[in-house]
Structure 1
Amino acid sequence: MTTSVVVTGLGIASPNGLGAEDYWNATLGGKNGIGRITRFDPAGYPAKLAGEIPGFAAEDHLPSRLLPQTDRVTRLALVATDWALADAGVDPKEQPEFNMGVITASAAGGFEFGQGELQSLWARGSQYVSAYQSFAWFYAVNSGQISIRNGMKGPSGVVVSEGAGGLDAVAHARRQIRKGTSLIVTGGVDASVCTWGWVAQLSTGKLSTSDSPTRAYLPFDREACGYVPGEGGAILIAEDADAARARGAHIYGEIAGYGATIDPKPGSGREPGLRKAIQIALADAGVPAGEVDVVFADGAADPALDRIEAEAISAVFGPRAVPVTVPKTMTGRLYSGASPLDLAAAFFSIRDGVIPPTVHVDPCPDYPLDLVLGQPRKAEVRTALVLARGSGGFNSAMVVRATD
């Protein structure tokens, strides 16, 4: 019998809300976390907007010894993990250390820390470069620091598949739980709103250069012109369902199905892989398309990619046959943190019977989608599908559902 894997805790750091309930209330209220960059002066750059997390002071949450060792992204991840564990009612000190693991996703690692140490190298010399540079910039640093802080010595790792990585990490966590580990800290947080990180993101040519916070990131819109990056994400506590129930844990829902594909080479004439990823996830969950109550779309805000996603959704579910939402229009695209945040929103939708809105978008009629626009939509949500794509052709799809 296949082990069921459930989510028992959520920790969220988002541009429109710090903490799970704060994020959810802000999202239902349509609160926009996109604005002009404040972490550096963006005047000399073509893209000037980002989804920044306001009001986060790491020193209020973490011991001072950790601050010189860590990048902003790791501080956010550590605090989100603390919140997720508290939400799950888990004290790591009371758990067998080899029965807990950490599997997160990262698209950039600690870019800002790396930038600072390079500046020290160039301006002052190698003796002024921190020893912590050896790991603080690295993709795996969040998993490493979370595991050290919480004494977690079970199966751990990091997944690097850009925007798809958050779902891929949760899927890998599910796989390890099915192999016998009781609890995995998973999800993803990214934060690279610094000048070095910004130049790297601009090099893709995919960032929106609009200066309007409400018209810059417009997935499925007639005027879609690229995306706005953001920082943050969500950490989830995934557990063996039987173990979670045995300790009386609150359960948000089950990680029921997962599918992943890679797009074919551009110009090959072959079909993009997103539709197949959806079909694999539904089959893995044993869920027919008609039972899916909402789709949390990837929402690239690139006309060609939007069309691919709209066609994949309508091919599987039928034209305008399932509600579709893109709550990341309020936060920007958080890279590997985006899809775990959508998973959290999906679990809240299941809990509260409401679908969060897609804001600011005037949908293109060519896309046969039932977009939830402007205001939340009340609906019974038992099963949700979350989609994510990463640069380079990664496609991932995950089905989550209620357990009661």
Structure 2
Amino acid sequence: MSATALVTGLGIVAPTGLGVEEYWSATLAGRSGIRRVTHFDPTPYPSRLAGEIDGFEAAEYLPSRLLPQTDRMTRLALVGADWAFEDAGVVPSELATYDVGVITASHSGGFEFGQNELRALWSKGGQYVSAYQSFAWFYAVNSGQISIRGGLRGPSSVLVSDQAGGLDAVAQARRQIRKGTSMVVSGAVDASICSWGWVAQMAGGRLSTSDDPARAYLPFDDRAAGHVPGEGGALLVVEDAEHVKRRGAPRVYGEIAGHASTVDPKPGTDRAPTLQNAIELALGDADMVPDDIDVVFADAAAVPELDRAEAEAITKVFGPRGVPVTAPKTATGRLYSGAAPLDLAAAFLSIRDQVIPPTVGSVSARPYEIDLVTGAPRPTALRGALVLARGHGGFNSAMVVRAAGHRHV
């Protein structure tokens, strides 16, 4: 029998809160972290809102030697990993070096660090470019820096599949657990709210241009007109069930039960999108049926044709309004590769507290025939949850999680 992959620790860095309980209380209260960009002057750009993290001072958490060699993204990831291990009751240095791996995802790498070094190159000259530029911008830098900081030499890697990458990384962590690794810290943190990163994001053509934080990011709503970007994400400690038992872990949030990823056909063909396939394959991987899923955490693109495709996939699997659907990322913005791991964390917290968080802002999903949770949290019996993520270029990822010890009969 394959090893069971349990989640025993969460490290959250989000626009709505630093740490598990701060984030979760804001999420249930429907408090939004979306506002006008402050990291740079957004006035010249058509999109001017983002989900920014307030109150994070890296020097309070990290040694000074790390600050000049890391991008904001990596600083957030290092602290998130520290918090995840602490939540799991783990001191990495006390574990066998090769028993713990690090698998993260990245959407854009260290954009802000790269922007600053390019500015130095063009304004001062090559001798003023930091030697740390050679890796601080790189997609794999979070995995590398977390590994170095914790002395972790188990299986480590990075996944790059745009906004689907966060789920794909956790799925890879589950594979490593099944191959015999005791523990993997996995998930993603992204942060590219800088002028260079902003231009790159606007090139995708999906950013909202609204200046009203309450109306800018409205998935499955008649007023939907693009998403608001954000920074942050979540790191999860994924652990073999036998290892959890042997060390007496203080808590278990639940199990990574199933996963599948697909790629949509080339635009312009008559072939259908494949998100429905990903959902069905993930359910099959978990040995579960649609009735075992009590809530769906949607990708929630807030682009009408993409919302329609996602709603149709959900409806075809679960039936019209057959399962509650929520998108708490409307309060944080889309955090790119960090968005889906944060949704995973929210799914586990929903199961813990038996409540579904609301979708902030959106008020009507009638055209889409889905049961969108809006306005206030919805108390309900929760044992299984489905988390969806889609990346630009046709990436789809679906992950099923459930309460620890719960199996489909």
Could you tell me the TM-score, scaled by structure 1's length? Answer: 0.99
5 Å matches for 1:378-393? 378-393=379-394
Quote how far apart the aligned CAs of 1:113 are. Answer: 0.3
RMSD over aligned Cα atoms:
0.6
Distance 1:206 1:338 in 2: 16
2:107 paired residue number = 107
1:193 paired residue number = 193
1:258 paired residue number = 259
Cα deviations across residues 131-190 of structure 1 (Å, max 9, x unaligned)? 000000000000000000000011101000010000000000000111111010100000
2:168 paired residue number = 168
Quote how far apart the aligned CAs of 1:65 are. Answer: 0.3
Distance 1:174 1:291 in 2: 21
Residue 189 of structure 2 aligns to a residue whose secondary structure is strand
1:123 paired residue number = 123
5 Å matches for 1:191-230? 191-230=191-230
1:306 paired residue number = 307
* Letter aligned with residue 195 of structure 1: S
* Letter aligned with residue 163 of structure 1: Q
Q: Structure 1: which 4+ aligned runs deviate by more than 2 Å?
A: none
Residue 214 of structure 1 aligns to a residue whose secondary structure is coil
2:280 paired residue number = 279
Is the contact between residue 14 and residue 53 of structure 2 (CA under 8 Å) also seen in structure 1? yes
2:69 paired residue number = 69
Larger CA deviation: 354-363 vs 329-338: 354-363
Could you tell me the TM-score, scaled by structure 2's length? Answer: 0.98
Distance 1:25 1:65 in 2: 34
5 Å matches for 1:4-403? 4-249=4-249, 250-403=251-404
Quote how far apart the aligned CAs of 1:364 are. Answer: 3.7
Question: Number of paired residues?
Answer: 404
Distance 2:31 2:60 in 1: 25
* Letter aligned with residue 338 of structure 1: A
Residue 239 of structure 2 aligns to a residue whose secondary structure is strand
Distance 2:294 2:203 in 1: 37
* Letter aligned with residue 51 of structure 1: G
Cα deviations across residues 185-213 of structure 1 (Å, max 9, x unaligned)? 10000000000000000111110000000
Distance 1:184 1:201 in 2: 30
Distance 2:67 2:2 in 1: 42
Quote how far apart the aligned CAs of 1:247 are. Answer: 1.1
Distance 2:365 2:374 in 1: 13
Distance 1:325 1:331 in 2: 14
* Letter aligned with residue 344 of structure 1: A
Identical columns (%):
67
Distance 1:29 1:362 in 2: 16
* Letter aligned with residue 346 of structure 2: A
Quote how far apart the aligned CAs of 1:245 are. Answer: 1.6
